[in-house]
Amino acid sequence: MNPLGWALRSIPLGPLQPLKNVAGSPVEGQRILVTGASSGVGEATARQLAAKGAEVWLVARRLEELQRVATEIEAAGGSARVSTCDLSDLEQVDALVAEVLEAGGVDVLVNNAGKSIRRSLELSFDRFHDFERMMAINYFGPVRLTMGLLPSMIERGDGHVVNVLTWGVQGLAPKFAAYTAAKAALDAFGRIASRELRHQGVTVTNVRLDLVRTPMIAPTDAFDNRPARSPEGAARMLVRACEDRPPEVNTLLGTLGAISGMVAPRVSDLSWNAVDRQLPDSKAARGDR
């Protein structure tokens, strides 16, 4: 696709307004599994989907937080159930798949759970485990879960997978090598799955979010005064993805980053290098306490 077409595809179809209980939403009556649903974007997404009439299946590691979210959703008239799972533990992922299939499967899977690391390569030479744990939670976990649930979707002739990614796979911001590489792997998996499975009734959407103000970015002091999307705003993008099922949902920042990298890669690299030198590693990344 040419840069203009790419940019046009990233433009939302309309303003993303706060969601209300809207009868007739495509997600009404659907069972939707949301990982990382105990806080942040996952929690906000589950709440908004439930308000649209979906039965949400909340998955995360922290049982108490999951129960809190489920109780509040049900108090508001929604439907929710919970399961604990550490997605970096593939045996736990397999157990979750078995539980879901035993209950009849799900209509939509939202791969939201993940972790981020912002650390320069110079501080990572002896930290190969950073790359391993980013792949474990951001790639292997969601792929294992997706592959476990896809056969039931294919058999049913309908299903949808939403992968929560980052605009960094387009912009390739410095100091995010471990995180962005793992998300880029999931991005490629999702796009290929979308092209292979469409004729079988299964669709895949890659949502490439920009910076979201959640506890995940708190250790990076460089983000303290940077503009960031709210979890509720990010959730509206994910709900739109569940309803409309486009192949991609992009932000303006990500689209511009992708275009600049294609049109003028040397200029883009020089620009990012200048930005990188102005934003040093955080205290957390340096190990300062």
**Distance, CA of 81 to CA of 83 (rounded, Å):** 7
Query: Hey, what are 2's tokens?
Result: 């040419």
Q: Provide the pLDDT for residue 8.
A: 36
Phi, psi of 127 (to 5 degrees): -125, 50
Neighbours of 119 (CB within 10 A): 21
Q: Provide the pLDDT for residue 286.
A: 82
Q: What residues are annotated to the active site?
A: 179
Closest residue by Cα to residue 110 from 161, 158, 173: 161
pLDDT in tens, the chain (289 residues): 333 343 333 434 333 333 444 457 999 999 999 999 999 999 999 999 999 999 999 999 999 999 999 999 999 999 999 999 999 999 999 999 999 999 999 999 999 999 999 999 999 999 999 999 999 999 999 999 999 999 999 999 999 999 999 999 999 999 999 999 999 999 999 999 999 999 999 999 999 998 786 656 555 555 556 666 789 999 999 999 999 999 999 988 888 989 988 999 999 999 889 988 888 887 888 877 5
Q: Residues with Cβ < 8 Å from 219, sequence gap 6 or more?
A: 118, 282, 284, 285
Query: Hey, what are 45's tokens?
Result: 């997404």
Q: Provide the pLDDT for residue 133.
A: 96
**Distance, CA of 154 to CA of 161 (rounded, Å):** 12
Model confidence, pTM: 0.86
Task: Supply the angle between the helices 252-263 and 3-10 in degrees, to the nearest 10.
Answer: 170
- Give CB contacts under 8 A, 24+ apart, made by 268-275: 272/172, 272/173, 272/174, 273/174, 275/173, 275/174
